[in-house]
Amino acid sequence: MNTVKITRDNFEKEVLHSDTPVLLDFWANWCGPCKMLSPTVDEIALEVNDVIKVCKVNIDEEPELASAFHIMSIPTLAVFKNGKVINSSVGVKPKNEILRMLEVK
């Protein structure tokens, strides 16, 4: 499974009401660090698709979502479980750190 593109129309269904934990990547086309992180997020999506849903939201296309979660810097990764943010990080992180974020209890 690849990443799921998140919009305000599918956010509630895909993220808040997901049966599995969700890794949500807040990014933008013009963001250099986002471009650096994107292949890692895509790789993780392929590896954990049976237990974690990996989603991306373009903050330029969905400013309401970025505002709702007080996204001040990108890339920002947020881990959702049962509709709540349980972990987050800002900036480019190595794959092993992102995987540690996903260790959902």
Q: Which residues are known catalytic residues?
A: 31, 34
CA distance 66 to 39: 21
Burial 44-63 (b: 16+ CB within 10 A, else e): bbeebeeebbbbbbbbeebe
β strands within the chain, DSSP E: 4-5, 22-27, 53-58, 76-81, 84-90
